[in-house]
A and B are shown apart, each in its own frame.
Chain A
Amino acid sequence: MDALSWGEIILRILTQFIPVWIALIATFALSITLKRRLGLYGKLFDSPIGMVGFALVMFWVFTGIFGGAFDLITTHDVLDQSATMKNKGPGTPYTKLMGEVAPDAYPFYLLGGDNLGRDVFSRMVVGAWEVIKIAPFASLFAFMVGITLGLPAGYYGGKLDTLLSFLANLILAFPVILLFYLLVTPEIVLTGIPVYMAAVLFIFPIVFLVLLWNSRFHTQPGTRNLYVGVTLIVGLWLYSGIAWNADPLGLVSFPPNLLVVFVAVVFVNSPTVFRIVRGLTMDIKTRDYVAAAQTRGEGAWYIMLWEILPNVRGPLLVDFCLRIGYTTILLGTLGFFGLGLSPESPDWGSTINEGRKLLSLYLHPALPPAFALLSLVLGLNLLADGLREESLRD
């Protein structure tokens, strides 16, 4: 078989992405039809920049879900090595040194093979899944920690604020890479420190939700008990599984090397969120509606969570998008230095690191993950820009 020409490669790649195109078109058609009823999300579709950003982000989200979780887009297994495919260029027909090629195997390496003869295209697709399953959750956890600590620091001020700000600045004064090198090593996993850090960091979402329900419904004990009870049962069940790997039902668990990556990323991001929330709270707490709530005799947490927090959602949402992008960059950095994730993991950072070693001779293993990472982060930044513009408009 002959190698494919560039036109055929592009055509075949576009064909492989068909599920993603369908999902993208469906999302856009649905959102644009209903955009007047969807609030801020709908307004996004008025801004061209926001739409481009959203399209880029959703492209990778769908690619991650279909390719990584459902195995639809990938053409070959990401760990399958073929000795004859080492460093072969894009569009090379798939061959094996030993044994027959399975009849239903995809006949080409669309973007070539890497230095171990693995399919670059499939690794790039599955790499999206590695990002999608960590970055948004890590950002969300960082936000929970930052909000739960930032609100009281900004609202009460005083000694609490001084202490928390000092701790936040302490973490921020670390060069991120030094922190990663100290935290994300197999030796540190042995000492169990990541588990303790996870135990501290992962308690914050539960604390946040309990405070949220309690401050709102403490006058209606029935509703309050229901919400707080459900939160505690589900939260503590997930908590025991994720942080301590001690789920009584044995359903939830977290691989230790993924946990350490997750913890490190949350740990690095939380102080920045803390500072943003603290600054916004200090600004908002002088407003009249806060004074009105104080006069009504509302509790401090009610004011923080139900008066101040909803009013800072715009800037926080924008920062959330940017933070997912930054987390993606951080995950890439970890992969680039070979920290945390296993060396054969298809995440983009590791693949770029592998590919750069032979960069002067072969470009194709390093460039696809590099462009993938670039386009996802760019999409998130554009999305944040679009959101900022639209939320400023009203």
Chain B
Amino acid sequence: MAMFILRRLGVMILTALCLTFVVFFLTNLYPNLEKLAKTQGNFRMTDEEVASYLGRNGYLEPLPVKYGQWMGVLPGWTTTTADGTLRGRCIAPDTPPESAPRFCGILQGDWGYSTVFKKDVGEIIGEKLALTGRLMFWVMLLMVPSALILGVMAGMREGSRTDRTLSTFAITTTATPEYVSGVLFIAVFASTAVGLKWFKGTATSAMENPTFENFFLPVLTIALYGMGYIARMTRASMAEVMTAQYIRTARLKGVSFPNIVLKHALRNALIAPFTVIMLQFPWLLNGVVIVETLFNYKGFGWTLVQAASNNDIELLLAVSVVSVIVVLVTQLISDIGYVYLNPRISVS
């Protein structure tokens, strides 16, 4: 087991390295750098001004060197400006160059500087992750129990009318992407045109003070899309378990139906959905980006959009590192959890 986890960790680190390198490569293509220079300077810069801006800020070094600097395995770039002062990647504006460290990268715990927000990337990521974490917490709290109940109800009597109704509902929710359901919810519950106005159409105020009124719609929107999928998985696995021999034995013994479902079937039926719930995290990340943009909730997903549309290289890299870690860790947990839950599977 330890060997298995170690090997998975190795693959994880390799994946994260490859992935950040791809992001690094794509964001450092010249047209992207040109866009960055123009948004940082002004939009009427000539080609020479762009080149000199990029050279001054260390963007024109070879790609592997820049990547090494970002990682913290190569010393940060330095240039001497016209008035003789030394500028560099690791030299903060108000500290003397001599006391600055030679290396500053991920390995030193320095995530770099965001060109859009004019703040330390580490600080931004921490703050935004907390906001999104709160959103995800409520999403999970709403999504997982309701999806499991839905799936178990549908799967315990396969083919019944309850099953048909609930399955159709589950299919409908999986067919409704967040930008459709979110728009529908805002239209029905938050617009002046319909006039119900039960909830707020934006969640900006939920960043300081989340209430049911301003936070429920975004949570519901994300939860609904993921819910259908988990419910269908639970239904399939529940339906399979209900046809097993030991369930028939229990029925013949005269165990009551609720008891069969709760004591005999449920535990076995929940193994498959567990994996699915874990693998839902990467999908939820997509939902988070859409919903945070739609409801203007300035969390992690919103930051991704800002970083990507402004080519904020270091912020974007940090965002991708975090999301990759989320994806890979949940995969790992789902694999390990599956082994523990299901005695028939063993790693060695």
A361 interface residue, CB < 8 Å from B? yes
A356 surroundings in chain B (CB, below 8 A)? 179, 183, 186, 294
User: Could you mark each residue 268-312 of chain A with 1 if its beta carbon is under 8 Å from any beta carbon of chain B, else 0?
Assistant: 000000000000000000000000000000000000000000000
In the complex, the answer to whether A166 meets B11 with C-beta atoms within 8 Å is yes
Min Cβ gap B25→A in Å is 9
What chain B residues lie within 8 Å of A362 (beta carbons)?
A: 193
Contact B308 A182 (CB under 8 A): yes
| B224, CB-defined interface residue at 8 Å | no
User: Looking at the complex, which of A146-154, A199-207, A230-238, A363-371 is the stretch in contact with chain B?
Assistant: A363-371
Of listed A175, A181, A353, A362, residue having the most chain B CB within 10 A = A175
> Main secondary structure on chain B at its contact with chain A?
helix
Mask for B174-205, Cβ within 8 A of A = 1, else 0?
A: 11110110011011001111100000010000
Task: Jot down 19 A-B pairs with beta carbons below 8 A, ordered by A.
Answer: A166-B15, A173-B327, A175-B323, A177-B304, A188-B31, A325-B175, A332-B177, A336-B179, A336-B290, A353-B179, A356-B179, A361-B192, A362-B193, A366-B187, A367-B183, A370-B183, A373-B180, A374-B180, A377-B176
Complex Cα distance, B290 from A181, in Å, reads 13
Binds B, one of A28-36, A92-100, A116-124, A378-386: A378-386
Q: Does B23 contact A (CB under 8 A)?
A: yes
Asked if A170 and B19 make an inter-chain contact with CB atoms under 8 angstroms apart, the answer reads: yes
CB distance from B325 to the nearest CB of A (A): 10
Contact of A359 among B172, B176, B191 (CB under 8 A): B191
On whether A337 and B305 interact (CB within 8 A), knowing A174-B19, A187-B35, A332-B179, the answer reads yes
CB contacts under 8 Å to A, within B258-292, are: 282, 285-286, 289-290
Does B146 count as interface, using CB distance less than 8 angstroms? no
Q: How far is the CA of A183 from the CA of B29 in the complex (A)?
A: 11
**Does A74 make an interface contact (CB < 8 A)?**
no
Given contact pairs A166-B14, A175-B286, A359-B191, enumerate 14 new A-B contacts (beta carbons under 8 Å): A173-B324, A175-B320, A181-B309, A182-B23, A187-B32, A188-B26, A349-B179, A353-B179, A355-B183, A356-B183, A359-B183, A361-B193, A367-B184, A374-B175
3 shortest interchain CB distances as A-B pairs: A181-B308, A187-B31, A378-B175
Asked whether, in the complex, the Cβ of A173 is within 8 Å of the Cβ of B328, the reply is: yes
| B15 in contact with A366 (CB, 8 Å) | no
